[in-house]
Every structure is written in structure tokens, then in C-alpha cells.
Amino acid sequence: MGFKKLEPIKGGIVGCAVCGYKPDYADMNMRIAVGFGMAVLTKDGEVIFSEDNRNWEDCMTVAEAEELAAADPDHDWRIHLLGPLSEVMYQRHDVGKWALVKKGLGFA
């Protein structure tokens, strides 16, 4: 493994209470989407998937990202979600385990 696994952090309310609860590990059914902002899947910093104004149902799920990552596991896979009043980043730590590694206030 040629990358550093970041320290997992606890989930909870991120940004404002309206933005919702962010879990310690990403749910496999979660869409890589924020609607307004930026949502991407990266591999070693290179964008593999971007929400890019797609409809919600057309956005990749974490399960689909896991399928890609499982086929090429020796890389730093991350999901970045940056929206109004909420920012989170998940990093793949093991099979089916995308750990919360960053949270912030997003933008407004």
C-alpha cells in the first residue's frame, strides 16, 4: 500500500443541524451527490466521478465506488462532499469500509 490511511473521526451533525447527520462510515446506498456544491470520487487525487449537475438518481453510489476500488485497492480512494454548510470526506479503509476522515462547515 503506497498511501497513508487518514485517522477516522466521529460523525455527527456537520455544519448546520438541517444538513443532517454524517455517519462514521459511509452507507453503501449513499449517493455521491450534494446537489449544490461539489461531489467527487477520487483515486490518488485524480477525479474518477463527479456529480456535474447530474440528476440525483444518475449519481454514483458508494457501493458502485466500492466496486471500482475493490478491483484496484492499492490506491487512495476518497469521496469528497462539499455543500452549503456541510463538508465531509470519506476514505476507503477496507472492503466496504469508507471511513469519515474530514468534516467541516462547507460554504455559504
The pLDDT, as a whole number, for residue 93 is 98
Please state whether beta strands 86-94 and 46-50 pair in parallel, antiparallel, or not at all (unpaired). Answer: unpaired
Average pLDDT of the chain is 93
The pLDDT, as a whole number, for residue 50 is 97
Q: How confident is the model at residue 17 (pLDDT cuts 50, 70, 90)?
A: low
DSSP symbol at 61 = B
User: What pTM was computed for the model?
Assistant: 0.93
The pLDDT, as a whole number, for residue 84 is 87
